[in-house]
A = this chain, B = another copy of it.
Amino acid sequence: MQSLRHSDSDVVELSVSAWFYRNRTIAGFDNPARSLYVSVRELVENSLDACEGAGVLPEVHVSLQHLKTDSSEAEGMPKGPQVFGLRIQDNGSGIRREDAPRLLGRMLTSTRFTLKQSRGTFGLGGSLALLYGQVTTQRPIEITTGRSGEESKHKIVMRLDIENNEPILVHEEQQPKNPEDHGTIIEFYLQGDWFRSKRRITEYFLQTSMIVPYASMLFDNPDGESLRLPRVIEKLPQQPMEAKPHPRGIDVEMLKRMIKESRRSTLKSFLRGSFQRVGESTAEKFLASAALDPAAAPKAMSNENLVHMMKKLETYSGFLAPSSKSLSPAGLDVLKAGIRRLKPEFVVVRQRQPSVYEGHPFIVETGVAYGGELMPVMKLYRFANRIPLLYDERTDVSSQVIRELNLKNYGLRQDDPLAFFVHICSTKIPYKTVGKEFIGDIDVVRREIDLGLKDCLRRLGESVRRKRRVHRQERRESRLVGYYEFIAETLGKATDQEVSLVNLIGN
| Chain A interface residues toward B at CB < 8 A | 1-6, 8, 10-16, 19, 21-23, 25-26, 30-31, 46-47, 49-50, 52-54, 90, 92-93, 95-96, 99, 103-104, 106-112, 116, 118, 122, 126, 134-136, 138, 143, 145, 162-163, 165, 184, 186, 242, 251-253, 257, 303, 306-307, 310, 392, 395, 430-434, 440-443
Interchain residue pairs with CB less than 8 A apart (27): A1-B50, A1-B143, A1-B184, A1-B186, A2-B46, A2-B50, A5-B242, A6-B110, A10-B111, A10-B112, A11-B110, A12-B108, A13-B165, A14-B16, A16-B16, A26-B431, A30-B430, A30-B432, A30-B441, A135-B251, A135-B252, A138-B252, A138-B310, A162-B253, A392-B395, A432-B433, A434-B434
Question: A16-B16, A434-B434 provided; 6 other pairs, C-beta below 8 A?
Answer: A1-B46, A4-B96, A11-B109, A16-B19, A25-B432, A30-B440
Q: Say whether, besides A3-B54, A433-B432, A106 and B25 are in contact (CB < 8 Å).
A: no
Q: How far is the CA of A31 from the CA of B99 in the complex (A)?
A: 39
How many monomers of this chain does the complex have? Answer: 2
Given A2-B126, A16-B16, verify A30-B442 contact (CB < 8 Å).
yes
Tell me if A1 and B104 are in contact (CB < 8 A). Answer: yes
Chain B residues near A25 (CB, 8 Å)?
A: 430-432, 440
A3 with B49, Cβ < 8 A, contacts A11-B109, A13-B15, A138-B303 known: yes
Q: Bound state CA distance, A118 and B19, in angstroms? A: 17
How far in angstroms is the closest Cβ of chain B from A136?
7
Q: Which 7 A-B pairs have the closest CB atoms?
A: A3-B53, A1-B184, A138-B307, A30-B440, A2-B103, A10-B112, A11-B108
